[in-house]
Amino acid sequence: MVVSFPGGPAPAPGSDDPLALLSACHGRIARQCATLERLAAHLPVHGSDNAAQTAAASVRRYFDTAAVHHHEDEEEDLFPALIDSMAGSDAGCLHALVQGLMDDHRRLATLWAPLRKALSDIAAGQPAALPAEQVREFTQAYAAHIQREEDELLPMASRLISDDALADLGQAMAGRRGGDAG
């Protein structure tokens, strides 16, 4: 049982609140993007030193695992549950939203690939650069994507998806992570 004490940090959401868990993941993605930006500024001055290696390995690991699971949570479970909740209604705008977000996921994966290679080199202590423009394009694309999900997708899902479907979503998220969706 997780207990929150007054004045202390709130407990992290778990699979019993999948929409809050997805939102919390957005915060972690934003923090990893900020680390990526700091690393890009660090490298020209310090090279692939120990701090750079640690940061590069951490960012790479996050975007190779947790971010991938997050996109799977949305594409395999959240989006279909949301579309199912609209059965019988005119869901044209919802389909456009979902397709746009899936297109974002593909674009983010494409933008990630060259950064991942550079981060792998840095994590191994090899000289590498993180071009500021590539980092900026990736982090700005993620920021815009997150904003769209926070402003449009999650509020819509909260209104439309049944409690049973949300419970199923939470179970799928937990299963994707080996039983721990947090």
pLDDT of residue 10: 57
Torsion of CA 20, 9, 142, 105, to 10 degrees: -40
Q: How confident is the model over 141-165, as a mean pLDDT? A: 94
Contact (CB, 8 A) for 169 and 66? no
Q: How confident is the model over 155-169, as a mean pLDDT? A: 92
- CA-only gyration radius of the chain, Å: 18
Whole-structure pTM value = 0.86
Q: How confident is the model over 20-49, as a mean pLDDT? A: 96
Q: Output the CA torsion sign for 147, 178, 83, 155.
A: negative
CA distances in angstroms from 67 to 1, 15, 129, listed in the order given = 26, 16, 23
pLDDT of residue 89: 59
Supply the DSSP symbol for 149: I
Q: What is the pLDDT of residues 73-125, one digit of tens each?
A: 999 999 999 988 876 655 778 888 999 999 999 999 999 999 999 999 999 99
pLDDT of residue 85: 86
Phi/psi at 180 (5° precision): -125, 105
